[in-house]
């Protein structure tokens, strides 16, 4: 029996609905995910194509390995420099990673060559810079992005045919408010840790553990998945799909 994919938190479930559609549209044979966290998306992507991931945080890497290997994927402990066969992947993904990097422009310039010529880069980031708040600091974000900012950074890295859409309207705004309140109560955690330490632990925060909780989240989020599809220009999350020129 195939091991079920791990449950997704509400925000991730909203994101996955958009990501899944983008992946289906591109129809890749090979996928590389950068910073796969605990493997929530990876366990799903590994069922859609030949899948490889890298994850620098050791605790998250072990969890991702346990989730993704049964689905036929490979998870490597390290960053994008550890990715095998650079320049050969149909699709390279990085979900909620770019905002954790001080030099995001430099990262994109290194990520795009991992894609084969004519292949695609798929990213997700938090949107709306004016909404940067306690939760962003709590999990080690350097920034949030507007559509224009993310599009400009992708273009500067050499990507073409960039398409962007927001997600998580309207539920994401409520989820952000709850997370900001939670982070405000934990201000001492931020004061006593570095951005790198907060980034390393960010993939382990507020993650559902039980399969039943995952089913409940999926059922509760389902109406909002339909709602967000009606408003691709609104929502506190942003997904970008771009192509490496041939």
Residue 231 has pLDDT above 80, yes or no: yes
Q: Which CATH number goes with the domain that contains 236?
A: 3.40.50.150
CA distances from 213 to 8, 10, 101, 220 (A): 9, 11, 31, 10
What are 2's two structure tokens?
């195939």
**Structural domain contains residue 3:** no
In a domain, 224, yes or no: yes
Mean pLDDT, rounded, for 52-64: 96
1 in a domain, yes or no?
Answer: no
Average pLDDT of every residue of the chain: 93
- Please report whether residue 113 resides in a domain: yes
Of the candidate ranges 96-100, 147-151, 215-219, the one whose mean pLDDT is the lowest: 215-219
Kindly state whether residue 131 falls inside one of the protein's structural domains.
yes
Domain that holds residue 55: 10-243
How high is the pLDDT of residue 175? Answer: 94
5 located within any domain: no
Please give the pLDDT value at position 3: 73
Write the pLDDT tens digit of every residue in 155-209. Answer: 999 999 999 999 999 999 999 999 999 999 887 666 667 887 888 766 666 667 6
Within a domain: 15: yes
CB atoms near residue 102 (< 10 Å): 10
**Domain-located, residue 4:** no
> b/e map of 199-211 (b: 16 or more CB within 10 Å)?
bbbbbeeebbeee
CB 190 within 8 A of CB 138: yes
Peptide bond into 210 cis (omega under 30): no
Task: State the pLDDT confidence band at 101, using cuts at 50, 70 and 90.
Answer: very high
Cα 121 to Cα 15, 113, 154, 234: the distances in Å are: 16, 10, 9, 22
Whether the pLDDT of residue 103 is over 80: the answer is yes
Lowest mean pLDDT among 1-5, 48-52, 128-132, 234-238: 1-5
What is the pTM for the complete model shown?
A: 0.92
- pLDDT class of 107 with cuts at 50, 70, 90: very high
Cα separation, 218 vs 198, whole angstroms: 27
Torsion angles phi and psi, residue 74, rounded to 5: -125, 135
* Domains of the chain: total: 1
Classify residue 46 by its DSSP letter: T
185 vs 94: which has the higher pLDDT: 94
């Amino acid at each position: 029996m195939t091991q079920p994919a791990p449950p997704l938190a509400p925000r991730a479930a909203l994101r996955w609905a958009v990501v899944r559609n983008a992946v289906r549209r591109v129809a890749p044979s090979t996928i590389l995910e950068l910073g796969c966290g605990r493997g929530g998306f990876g366990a799903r992507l590994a069922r859609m194509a030949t899948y490889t991931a890298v994850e620098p945080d050791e605790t998250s890497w072990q969890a991702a390995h346990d989730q993704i290997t049964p689905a036929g994927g490979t998870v490597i402990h390290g960053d994008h420099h550890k990715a095998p066969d650079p320049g050969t992947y149909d699709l390279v993904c990085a979900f909620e990673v770019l905002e954790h990097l001080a030099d995001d422009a430099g990262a994109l310039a290194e990520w795009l060559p991992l894609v084969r010529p004519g292949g695609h880069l798929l990213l997700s980031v938090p949107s709306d810079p004016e909404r940067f708040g306690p939760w962003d600091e709590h999990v080690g974000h350097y920034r949030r992005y507007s559509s224009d900012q993310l599009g400009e950074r992708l273009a500067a890295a050499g990507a073409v045919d960039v398409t962007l859409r927001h997600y998580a309207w309207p539920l994401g705004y409520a989820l952000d408010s709850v997370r900001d309140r939670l982070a405000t109560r934990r201000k001492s955690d931020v004061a006593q840790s570095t951005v790198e330490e907060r980034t390393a632990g960010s993939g382990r925060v507020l993650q559902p553990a039980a399969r039943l909780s995952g089913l409940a989240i999926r059922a509760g989020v389902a109406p909002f998945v339909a709602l967000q599809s009606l408003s691709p220009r609104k929502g506190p999350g942003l997904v970008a799909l771009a192509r490496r020129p041939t």
